[in-house]
């Protein structure tokens, strides 16, 4: 009788690494590390960009090994991991911790995915100086880019960060950090006036230097139109139709591991 079949639990690998320890290397063929120029080249060629959230080392390594181009350490961790009702309670220290965990996971896998760290509520609204201090915390934790929510009022901050070498992903449409003022999780840009404003803000953010733009819960025709117009910025949709340059999902939503109903667009 072999060592594994003698085990009370049956055919068990007694030499498996403990506590879900990550393997030393990915079994998949290696690929070049993703970079911002490569992501923008994909956008130009019409190749869809894949993005998914991760909050720990294991999920990050799995996503990287699967060939995902970009991983977002989202402040959605407040709702997914912490049980909060909104993302407002997530702090910069929370984001630093989880960004560091995800970065470690990538290093244990192929270390090829582009890593984006969310700027949480209250970490950049006060001033440009506050924003760069907060962004530096996430970059030092392993992020390659930071993401911040907001329209025209964020353009100066975006420009300030980009000028100092910090790549920025903007976020328009439904911005979860301002869900209270939006009146809930609703589609944005449905009226002509709101659509015109969203378009104006998107162009302003591109002009300020944003290289990527998340469009959340925006009508598909509007997101498609913006994708065609923004030639120097890759649009990433979530609940915004199929016409964007890429798509992002919360991993737990994709896997059905959540505390409520899955969004319709998953």
Which residues participate in catalysis according to the annotation? 216
C-alpha span between 130 and 165 (Å, rounded)? 16
Contact of 60 with 106, CB cutoff 8 Å: yes
Angle, helices 192-208 vs 155-163, to 10°: value is: 20
Which residues are registered as beta bridge partners of 243? none
The token duo for 181 is 């003022």
Half-sphere exposure of 62 (CA within 13 A, CB side): 11
Cα 144 from chain centroid (whole Å): 11
Residue 222: strand, helix, or coil:
helix
Cα dihedral angle (251, 255, 261, 263), rounded to 10 degrees? 50
């Amino acid at each position: 009788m072999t060592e594994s079949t003698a085990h009370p639990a049956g055919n068990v690998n007694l030499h498996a690494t403990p506590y879900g320890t990550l393997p030393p290397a990915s079994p998949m063929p290696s690929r070049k590390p993703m970079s911002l120029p490569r992501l923008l080249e994909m956008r130009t060629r019409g190749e869809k960009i894949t993005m998914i959230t991760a909050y720990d080392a294991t999920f990050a390594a799995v996503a990287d090994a699967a060939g995902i181009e970009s991983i977002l350490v989202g402040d959605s961790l407040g709702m997914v991991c912490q049980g909060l009702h909104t993302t407002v309670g997530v702090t910069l220290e929370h984001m630093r911790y989880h960004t560091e965990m995800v970065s470690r996971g990538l290093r244990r896998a192929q270390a090829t995915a582009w890593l984006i760290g969310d700027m949480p509520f209250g970490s950049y609204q006060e001033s440009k100086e506050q924003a760069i201090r907060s962004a530096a915390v996430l970059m030092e934790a392993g992020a390659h880019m930071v993401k911040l929510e907001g329209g025209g009022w964020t353009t100066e901050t975006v420009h300030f960060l980009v000028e100092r070498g910090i790549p920025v992903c903007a976020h328009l449409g439904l911005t979860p950090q301002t869900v209270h003022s939006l009146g809930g999780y609703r589609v944005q840009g449905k009226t002509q006036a709101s659509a015109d404003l969203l378009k104006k803000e998107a162009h302003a953010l591109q002009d300020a230097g944003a290289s990527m733009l998340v469009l959340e819960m925006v009508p598909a025709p509007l997101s498609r139109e913006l994708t065609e117009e923004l030639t120097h910025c890759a649009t990433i949709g979530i609940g915004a139709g199929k016409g964007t340059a890429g798509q992002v999902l919360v991993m737990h939503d994709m896997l059905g591991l959540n505390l409520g109903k899955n969004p319709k667009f998953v």
